[in-house]
Chains A and B, each alone.
Chain A
Amino acid sequence: MMARKRPAQRPVAETRGASVGKRGLRIGLHTYLLRHLQTFFYALGQLFQKPLATLMTSAVIGIALALPAGLHTLLNNTQQLTSDWNNSTRISLFLKQNINERQSTALAKKLRTKNEISKVDYISREQALEEFSALSGFGDALLALDENPLPTVLVVHPAMVINSSVAIEALLTELRTHPEVDLAQLDMQWVERLYAMLDTLSRGIWILASLLSLAVLLVVGNTIRLAIQNRRDEIVIIKLIGGTDAFIRRPFLYAGFWYGLFGGIIAFILVQISLLFLQEPVHHLANLYHSQFKLNKFELVNTFVLLTCATLLGYLGSWLAVNRHLKDIEPS
């Protein structure tokens, strides 16, 4: 077992890294960041080498995220719209057909003097007809009638003092006693119901968002799992020549990051297109209700939140996959 003696020879590797001073440390940090940046864009390049597969994965993520994001925006819009109606309990009084204009204006005047009433809108039969034909599209049909079928309507806005449903009921009963009134209708219940509905919807959207986020995790996780399987040989080789787990993990994590970001961008585009698509009919609908309401676009803050969440989900999804599957791959 004697080894032959040779002239003093220094193993070459020992000459390396012997002079790590402050300067070396700074350069080390510099190359460390550079290396991260390179891997970051290397991962992007890898995704672009398979554009179709990348697009499909990103699109799945995008659609999954667009759904809750879009619904959330619509809900926000609706809540904004209905906040105007918060104190807008109104009672519509439909007057009998045989009541003439003089009688109805007299009634309106009389009601306006009451303490419980802050305001009375007077909608004459002609006004009602005009609006109805303008907005309903049944104009021609109405013109064919000899007589205006619409009644005079007095819209009664209760005063602030009327703030309980009992008081409202009392006012309603009182208004019904007027002989000119054919029908007195309270427009409050549906607002309350709408609120309850919006509340439920809001929770529903959160549940949906959670489930779809989970779906995004699974989609990214599965994509990364396949990528790991496809590059099994490469991983083994890198491990054999001294690649650390962190080094091997990095491109996959960055790939997850990019998938998430692309998915987020696609979700953003989908939501914007959908909102644009809805703009026209919503505007029309708002006009029907005499509202100046306009559909709000996706806000900047929401865009930021959407992209951040998407990116984090992508990163997390790949992190889970990488942690689960990279350990199994060892050279033999």
Chain B
Amino acid sequence: MITFTNTSKRYPGGFEALNNISFNLAAGEMAFLTGHSGAGKSTLLKLIALIERCSNGQVLVNGKNLARISRRGIPYHRRNVGVIFQDHRLLFDRTVFDNVALPLVIAGNSRQEIHKRVRAALDKVGLLEKEKLYPITLSGGEQQRVGIARAVVNKPPLLLADEPTGNLDPELSREIMAIFEEFQRVGVSVLIASHDISLIQSLPYRVLQLDHGRLINDIGGRL
């Protein structure tokens, strides 16, 4: 699903955030990306979602070389990559339903289709009864779940999550992880950036560890 080959990322300004990274994430695989603050976790996810472009090496997603995707092609690439942001990035002037519906609206789905899929996605994250509320009235964990529903509503084959449990208590964090596991079980590839070591170690998945832009550890899942 994702293949990095000798990939480096140098930001304008000269800082090398990723240095010669190589790894492969299979379709339907779930993995954690960890490392100290500033290690390059977010940068790596940004390369996959084409928010940034790599300076060296190559990145393949779903068999496609990202260097070959032009500016005009970026939106279509992003529709196949569900991204969950630490700061949720919800639209606060729209209801939960409308937030989750946005990717489907963008893709031009019919009303009935949108209605069906949004309710299915909200059901999966356990927020069906809050669809008419505005995100500002939700707790942090609930907002994060809205973000997850929005990321999965158009059924992308790949999910990226950047610190999805950043501000959540351990109980909520486990709940969120359970949701990701559910998606992984139906065949979605999931890559989660996190420095919540205890949480990562409590789960049986592969861990990629970054340190100052280098991949220093790639520990396979215990399953």
Known pairs A4-B220, A31-B108; A16 contacts B78 (CB<8 A): no
B172 contacts A by Cβ under 8 Å: no
Is there an interface contact between A242 and B110, defined as CB atoms closer than 8 Å? no
Known pairs A3-B29, A4-B26, A27-B110; A11 contacts B75 (CB<8 A): no
Give the docked Cα–Cα distance between A29 and B80 (Å): 22
Give the docked Cα–Cα distance between A234 and B99 (Å): 11
CB neighbours (8 Å) of B52 from chain A are 332
User: Least Cβ distance of B70 to chain A in Å?
Assistant: 12
Is there an interface contact between B221 and A12, defined as CB atoms closer than 8 Å? no
A14 contacts B by Cβ under 8 Å: yes
CB neighbours (8 Å) of A16 from chain B are 154-155
Q: Which of A4, A31, A32, A243 contacts B221 (CB 8 A)?
A: A4
Interface bin, chain B: 35 or more
A300 contacts B by Cβ under 8 Å: no
User: Least Cβ distance of A326 to chain B in Å?
Assistant: 13
Is there an interface contact between B28 and A9, defined as CB atoms closer than 8 Å? yes
User: Least Cβ distance of B158 to chain A in Å?
Assistant: 8
A331 contacts B by Cβ under 8 Å: yes
Q: Which of A2, A6, A234, A332 contacts B51 (CB 8 A)?
A: A332
B218 contacts A by Cβ under 8 Å: yes
Is there an interface contact between A1 and B107, defined as CB atoms closer than 8 Å? no
User: Least Cβ distance of B193 to chain A in Å?
Assistant: 16
Is there an interface contact between A241 and B157, defined as CB atoms closer than 8 Å? no
Is there an interface contact between B24 and A247, defined as CB atoms closer than 8 Å? no
Known pairs A237-B89, A242-B75; A12 contacts B103 (CB<8 A): no
B81: nearest residue on chain A (CB-CB)? A242
Give the docked Cα–Cα distance between A9 and B184 (Å): 10
Q: Mark B73-92, 1 if CB is under 8 A from A, else 0.
A: 00111111001010001110
> Of residues 1 to 38 in A, which have CB atoms within 8 Å of B's CB atoms?
1-4, 6, 9-16, 27-28, 31-32, 34-35
A232 contacts B by Cβ under 8 Å: no
> Of residues 155 to 198 in B, which have CB atoms within 8 Å of A's CB atoms?
155-158, 186-189
Q: Mark B1-40, 1 if CB is under 8 A from A, else 0.
A: 1000000000000000000001111111100000000000
B145 contacts A by Cβ under 8 Å: no
Scoring A10, A28, A236, A243 by chain B CB atoms within 10 A of each residue's CB, the highest score goes to: A243
CB neighbours (8 Å) of B188 from chain A are 11-12
Give the docked Cα–Cα distance between A14 and B188 (Å): 11
Is there an interface contact between B107 and A9, defined as CB atoms closer than 8 Å? no
Is there an interface contact between A234 and B91, defined as CB atoms closer than 8 Å? yes
B71: nearest residue on chain A (CB-CB)? A245
Is there an interface contact between A241 and B150, defined as CB atoms closer than 8 Å? yes
A176 contacts B by Cβ under 8 Å: no
Give the docked Cα–Cα distance between A237 and B78 (Å): 12
Is there an interface contact between A243 and B106, defined as CB atoms closer than 8 Å? yes
Is there an interface contact between B156 and A13, defined as CB atoms closer than 8 Å? yes
Q: Which of A3, A9, A31, A233 contacts B25 (CB 8 A)?
A: A3
Is there an interface contact between A242 and B107, defined as CB atoms closer than 8 Å? yes
A90 contacts B by Cβ under 8 Å: no
A238 contacts B by Cβ under 8 Å: yes
Is there an interface contact between B83 and A11, defined as CB atoms closer than 8 Å? no
Known pairs A9-B187, A241-B102, A242-B75; A3 contacts B24 (CB<8 A): yes
Is there an interface contact between B156 and A331, defined as CB atoms closer than 8 Å? no
Give the docked Cα–Cα distance between A35 and B105 (Å): 8
CB neighbours (8 Å) of B105 from chain A are 35
A240 contacts B by Cβ under 8 Å: yes
A283 contacts B by Cβ under 8 Å: no
B118 contacts A by Cβ under 8 Å: no
CB neighbours (8 Å) of A245 from chain B are 72, 75
Is there an interface contact between A1 and B24, defined as CB atoms closer than 8 Å? yes
Is there an interface contact between B106 and A242, defined as CB atoms closer than 8 Å? yes
6 further contact pairs, Cβ within 8 A, besides A12-B187, A234-B91, A241-B83: A11-B188, A13-B156, A35-B105, A238-B106, A242-B103, A332-B52
**What are 24 A-B contacts defined by CB distance under 8 Å?**
A1-B23, A2-B220, A4-B206, A4-B221, A9-B28, A11-B158, A12-B157, A12-B187, A13-B156, A13-B157, A28-B108, A31-B109, A34-B110, A35-B108, A233-B89, A237-B89, A237-B102, A238-B106, A239-B78, A240-B49, A240-B89, A242-B75, A244-B75, A332-B51
> Chain B residues in contact with chain A, CB under 8 A?
1, 22-29, 49, 51-52, 62, 72, 75-80, 83, 85, 89-91, 102-103, 105-110, 150-151, 154-158, 186-189, 206, 218, 220-221, 223
Which 3 interchain pairs have the tightest Cβ spacing? A3-B26, A11-B157, A9-B187
> Chain A residues in contact with chain B, CB under 8 A?
1-4, 6, 9-16, 27-28, 31-32, 34-35, 233-234, 236-245, 247, 331-332
